[in-house]
Structures are given as structure tokens and as C-alpha cells.
Amino acid sequence: FKVGGHKIARIKDFQNDNPNLWPVDYLDWTRALPNGIEALATTSVVHDQYVYYYPLYRYAAGNVNISGNILARIPIDHLGNPTNHFEYLTNNGWQKKLQPKEVKIIFPAGVSELSVRYHPKDGEWMAVYLSPENKGRQLLYSTAPYLEGPWSAPASLIESIAEVDPASPLYDQNTFCYAGKEHRQFERGRNIVITYVCNSIEEIDNQESFIRKNTFLYRPSVVTIRR
């Protein structure tokens, strides 16, 4: 599939004990974002009067070929009128126009989903994502003192995801995994909670397909990791 547009949900009043009664504003950002931004990468961080995102960005023209996650931000008071209010991080600071040759690539892996959360005990931000290589076999993380970086080199949280590991009984050659994220709100001590999702490229109409016989696929997998 391919992302067809970009919308966010804004909840200004969340005082009611029942979340189903919270008023939600759906804000369409599709026309406010420049070409090349394929996904906002699902994570957002509210920090110092801005909302920060790590969009997946791809650009190819002439001798310029760029792919990876960049860093963008928008003032909180301009969420409803975003045009001309996004800023993009470059090696020389923030600028409003996204310039392919100047924009800074934060995560070269280039993922459509990840999480970036602050760990106050460590005084650092941590990004978690599944590597797009080898069908999403590795769960990776990087850390940084600031949202802008400098980010550490990716290291492994899970060396081999069972669903795409040929040595695992959960393996099938048509399976791929993605959407690795940390859920900071469930952290207990040094234990962090991670989720990811797996799917299959096998034909869904095949009644004998692996995904039809193994319903654990396409459900979030939850893993607790000691860090």
C-alpha cells in the first residue's frame, strides 16, 4: 500500500473520564507537506512549544538520491493552519523550505513507523524501529541527548525476530515484519515494552496459506526487554 494523505487527530479537551466522549478535530496536512514526505512515521513529540516528527523522506532527481527519516517540527499554535509553518532540520539549523541537498537525514534506515520517547532516568531520547532489511528481522534502537541528535549508531534490542527467523517454528518464507515501537507508558524499572506487527505476502485467497492457518500473524506482538 501507499500513503494517500496526511491527517492528524487533535484533542483539546480530554477532561472527561470516558475517552469516547473526547471531541476530536481531524486536521488535513496533505497539502501543507512537500513532495517526498511519504509518511509522518507515526511518532510525534510535543516539546518546547513545537510538535516534532521524523518523516520518511525520499527524493531522486539527477545525481541526488536521498532516502531516510528526517526531522520536522511545527509550532503547537499552528496545527490548524500548517501551511508555511513546518520547519526542517539541516546541518545548519532549521529552515522552512525542504531542500533535498540540505536536509539532514536522522535515521538512514528509512522506516514508515517508529517511536521516539524520552527516558528521564537516562537523560536521553530513544528511537525504536524494525530494520527494513531482511524482512524486518532486527529490532533496533538509537539514543540521543536531544531530538536533533547526535544520535548513536543503531544497536540491536532483538537480534532476530522469531516470525522471520528460519530457525524459529513461527517462521514462514512469505512473512515480513514492521512497525516496531516502544511504549514508554508501560515501562517498569529497566524493562521496556516493545510491539511489532507481521504480515504475509502470500495470496490471501489461498485457503491453505500460512496466514489463514496461523492467526497470530497480523496481530501486534508484545515483547518486554530488559535494558
Residue 140's SS3 state is strand
Determine the pLDDT at residue 63: 85
Which of 130, 70, 128 is CA-nearest to residue 102?
A: 70
Q: What is the largest CA-CA distance in the chain?
A: 55
* pLDDT average, residue stretch 14-34: 95
User: Which residue would you say has higher pLDDT here, 67 or 214?
Assistant: 67
User: CB neighbours (10 Å) of residue 119?
Assistant: 15
pTM for the whole thing?
0.91
* pLDDT average, residue stretch 8-25: 94
150 preceded by cis ω (within 30°)?
Answer: yes
**Per-residue pLDDT band at 94 (split at 50, 70, 90):** very high
Determine the pLDDT at residue 205: 83
Q: What sign does the dihedral 106-107-110-115 (CA atoms) show? A: negative
Determine the pLDDT at residue 3: 82
How far is it, in rounded angstroms, from Cα 170 to Cα 162? 6
Contact of 126 with 143, CB cutoff 8 Å: yes
Lowest mean pLDDT among 20-24, 58-62, 68-72: 58-62
**High-pLDDT (> 70) share of the chain, %:** 100
Average pLDDT, the chain: 93
pLDDT in tens, 167-176: 999 999 999 9
Determine the pLDDT at residue 68: 96
pLDDT in tens, 103-121: 999 999 999 999 999 999 9
Determine the pLDDT at residue 148: 97
Which of 84, 78, 68, 73 is CA-nearest to residue 34?
A: 84
Determine the pLDDT at residue 189: 85
pLDDT in tens, 186-226: 988 889 999 999 999 988 788 888 888 888 888 899 999 98
pLDDT in tens, 120-169: 999 999 999 999 999 999 999 999 999 999 999 999 999 999 999 999 99
Decide if pLDDT at 1 tops 80: no
Q: Is 114 exposed, middle or buried (0-12, 13-18, 19+ CB in 10 A)?
A: buried
Are β-strands 93-95 and 87-90 bridged in parallel, bridged antiparallel, or unpaired? antiparallel
